[in-house]
């Protein structure tokens, strides 16, 4: 889907995918009203739904990445990415309304909602800043704006996506809509060769494994351990996504301030492991404790997941090695999120196989996945730490030189 997304108009591609997602989601629910009891019907509909839904994430990240540059991308995308948790919360609440009565409506209603939103996107989505007379943001900067000395004019003219440059008419004439000026979309192997893509993809596999296991199994865990009803457990499980909203924003803000995307993810994953252990052992000791632990675990688990699928994907999709070619955003995002989707499939599957042996073993599996996600970022973290040490050394060196020059002048 990412490869197609680089070569097709994103507005048409995203809108079409949303409408088809609505159709297949509704078809799944209509099986209830049509009294269909053939397993293959639900399998085929669900597989088709999964295929068309893959058009979504590469498209939306590419659109947001086209608008916002390196500077505050982590915070902006952290706030923007809260829509995933809001969607999870709404999905759980909507499903909970009819889960004990007409469960088909739990699929038909969300299907109608996404189809309607797809039509709205078709009419109102703006893909590029240039389409509405705005200057494009600064993309190809791997170490912060101040480290990019190749194009100082780009730095001074880019105060944000809404800054209008003096040569706006020239910028409009060089719009990516002109075939002669449009760069060639990157290949799949070319995207894999961008530094950091493989590491973050594998990290996301395990981070998404943990996140999606909670998404699908948390209500059942609450029912079995805390002995709530199905609807109450569904409502309580949404607190995990409330924590995800806070974690995504916090991760984006910290990574913008420090310049260390991988280090931010790694620290949150390290803290998440003992928090998961604590939630399993003391999380059901009272409603207050359960609420607090769910929010904390949601923030620590979904924070790195949100950062990797948004700001990190956009950073890598506009990496300086691409020399300003932004035609890799969708492909890189699809590789990272697609690899993560393997974990999203494996996590709930493993939980289903392990849960009969005890919920403790499920949590041990989740903690192991969390640790593996952290270890896979080790090389990138070391690179970021070395970069910080080098920057501090250069600052100290420049301070010493300035002091010596002042003394010599005296």
Sign of CA dihedral 348, 352, 357, 359: positive
Number of residues in the chain: 410
Cα angle for residues 13, 16, 132 (degrees, 5° grid): 50
What's the pLDDT at 349? 93
Residue 11 CA to residue 25 CA, distance in Å, equals 21
pTM of the full structure: 0.71
Residue 18 CA to residue 133 CA, distance in Å, equals 28
What's the pLDDT at 406? 58
CA distances from residue 27 to 36, 102, 148, 153 in whole angstroms, order as listed: 11, 14, 51, 53
Residue 363 CA to residue 154 CA, distance in Å, equals 49
What's the pLDDT at 161? 39
Q: Where are the domains of the chain?
A: 1-126+186-397
- Say which residues have a Cβ less than 8 Å from residue 392's Cβ, sequence separation at least 6: none
What's the pLDDT at 107? 93
For residue 162, pLDDT beyond 50: no
Domain 1-126+186-397: CATH class, spelled out: mainly alpha
What's the pLDDT at 158? 39
For residue 33, pLDDT beyond 90: yes
Residue 233 CA to residue 289 CA, distance in Å, equals 15
User: How do residues 347-406 score in pLDDT, each as one tens digit?
Assistant: 999 999 998 998 899 999 999 999 999 999 888 888 888 888 877 777 766 665 656 665
Residue 380 CA to residue 199 CA, distance in Å, equals 8
Percent of the chain past pLDDT 90, that is, above it, reads: 33
Phi/psi region, residue 276 (left: phi>0; alpha: psi -120 to 50; beta: rest), is alpha
Paired tokens of 17: 């995918």
What's the pLDDT at 141? 46
Burial readout 52-77 (b: 16 or more C-beta within 10 A, e: otherwise)? bbbbbbbbbbbbbbbbbbbbebbbbb
CA distances from residue 169 to 67, 179, 324 in whole angstroms, order as listed: 18, 18, 20
Concatenating the DSSP letter of every residue in 182-212 gives: PPPPPPHHHHHTSTTHHHHHHHHHHHHHHHH
Residue 253 CA to residue 248 CA, distance in Å, equals 9
Specify which of 35-49, 181-195, 208-222 reaches the highest per-range mean pLDDT: 35-49
pLDDT band at 327 (very low <50, low <70, confident <90, very high): low
Residue 185 CA to residue 245 CA, distance in Å, equals 33
DSSP 132: G
DSSP 177: T
What's the pLDDT at 123? 93
Q: Are 86 and 245 in contact (CB under 8 A)?
A: yes
* 118 compared with 63, residue with greater pLDDT: 118
Average model confidence (pLDDT) across the chain: 80
User: How do residues 68-127 score in pLDDT, each as one tens digit?
Assistant: 876 677 888 888 888 888 888 888 788 878 877 888 999 999 999 999 999 999 999 998
Residue 247 CA to residue 239 CA, distance in Å, equals 12
What's the pLDDT at 275? 93
What's the pLDDT at 366? 94
Mean pLDDT to the nearest integer, 46-73: 84
Mean pLDDT to the nearest integer, 251-265: 88
What's the pLDDT at 146? 37
């Amino acid at each position: 889907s990412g490869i197609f997304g680089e070569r097709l108009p994103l507005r048409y591609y995203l809108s079409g995918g949303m409408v088809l997602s609505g159709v297949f989601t509704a078809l799944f629910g209509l099986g209830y009203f049509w009294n269909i009891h053939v397993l293959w019907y639900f399998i085929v509909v669900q597989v088709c739904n999964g295929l068309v839904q893959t058009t979504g994430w590469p498209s939306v990240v590419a659109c947001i990445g086209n608008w916002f540059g390196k500077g505050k991308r982590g915070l902006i995308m952290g706030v923007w990415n809260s829509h995933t948790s809001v969607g999870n919360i709404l999905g759980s609440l909507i499903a909970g309304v009819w889960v004990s009565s007409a469960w088909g409506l739990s699929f038909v209603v969300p299907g109608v909602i996404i189809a309607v939103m797809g039509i709205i996107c078709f009419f109102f989505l703006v893909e590029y800043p240039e389409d509405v007379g705005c200057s494009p943001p600064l993309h190809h900067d791997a170490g912060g704006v101040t480290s990019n000395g190749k194009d100082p004019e780009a730095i001074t003219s880019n105060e944000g996506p809404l800054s209008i440059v003096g040569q706006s008419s020239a910028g409009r004439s060089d719009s990516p809509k002109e075939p002669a000026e449009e760069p060639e979309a990157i290949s799949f192997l070319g995207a894999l060769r961008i530094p950091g893509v493989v590491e973050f993809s594998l990290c996301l596999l395990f981070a998404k494994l943990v996140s999606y296991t909670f998404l699908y199994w948390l209500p059942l865990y609450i029912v079995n351990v805390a002995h709530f009803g199905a609807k109450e457990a569904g409502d309580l499980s949404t607190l995990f996504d409330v924590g995800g909203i806070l974690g995504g924003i916090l991760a984006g803000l910290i990574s913008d301030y420090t310049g260390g995307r991988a280090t931010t993810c790694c620290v949150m994953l390290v803290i998440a492991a003992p928090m998961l252990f604590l939630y399993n052992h003391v999380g059901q000791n009272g409603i207050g404790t359960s609420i607090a632990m769910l929010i904390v675990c949601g923030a620590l688990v979904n924070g790195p997941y949100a950062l990797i699928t948004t700001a990190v994907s956009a950073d890598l999709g506009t990496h300086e090695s691409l020399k300003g070619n932004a035609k890799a955003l969708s492909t890189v995002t699809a590789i990272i999120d697609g690899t993560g989707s393997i974990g999203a499939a494996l996590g709930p599957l493993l939980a289903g196989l392990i849960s009969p042996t005890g919920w403790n073993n499920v949590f041990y599996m989740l903690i192991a996945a969390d640790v593996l996600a952290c270890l896979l970022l080790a090389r990138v973290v070391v690179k970021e730490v070395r970069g910080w040490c080098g920057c501090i050394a250069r600052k100290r060196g420049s301070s010493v030189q300035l002091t010596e020059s002042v003394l010599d002048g005296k």
